[in-house]
Amino acid sequence: MSYKKFTFLILFFLALVFQSCKLEDDSVNFNFIPLQIVSADLPQSFELNETYEIRVRYLRPSGCVFFEGFDITKEATTTRNVVAIGTEFYEDPCTQAIEELEATFNFICLYDDTYLFRFWSGENENGEQQYLEIEVPVN
């Protein structure tokens, strides 16, 4: 292949790559939302330094919402607030059917005190945060 042909192909490829990017379109078409947790399966007790798979059932409010993961915050030494996080897309047409789904996360027991898990379950009529609270003792 000649040098001119090679140079032309490289320039053509670069022009194609830069043409396909829409740099002026920087609008956001999604946001993160909390997903209502309806139940959680935890063991009857924990053993110190063991890892446990925690199974959580949550509600997906529409076909435009996709599960992203869990936001787990440490409120106190053995208190954990757990929120299921979803991504909601604006521009896509979607179903409005509520669907109950399941996801898991791993938890390592590091302290020998009873753990309190507070799973976010929505808001009440007054806009106050509601939690499903489950205590798990450590043997």
pLDDT tens digits for range 53-68: 999 999 999 999 999 9
pTM of the model: 0.78
Neighbours of 58 (CB within 10 A): 26
Q: Cα–Cα distances in Å, from 26 out to 18, 22, 128?
A: 16, 8, 34
pLDDT single digits (tens) 96-109:
889 999 999 999 99
Any domain includes 20: no
pLDDT for 71 equals 98
For residue 69, is it within any domain?
Answer: yes
**Share of residues in the chain with pLDDT > 90 (%):** 71
Number of domains within the chain: 1
Higher pLDDT, residue 92 or 115: 115
Please indicate, yes or no, if residue 110 is contained in any of the structural domains: yes
126: in domain: yes
Q: What is the pLDDT of residue 117?
A: 98
Q: Which domain holds residue 53?
A: 26-136
Give the C-alpha separation, 135 to 139, whole Å.
13
Residue 4 lies inside a defined structural domain of this protein:
no
Handedness of CA 124, 59, 83, 52 (dihedral sign): positive
Q: What is the pLDDT of residue 120?
A: 98
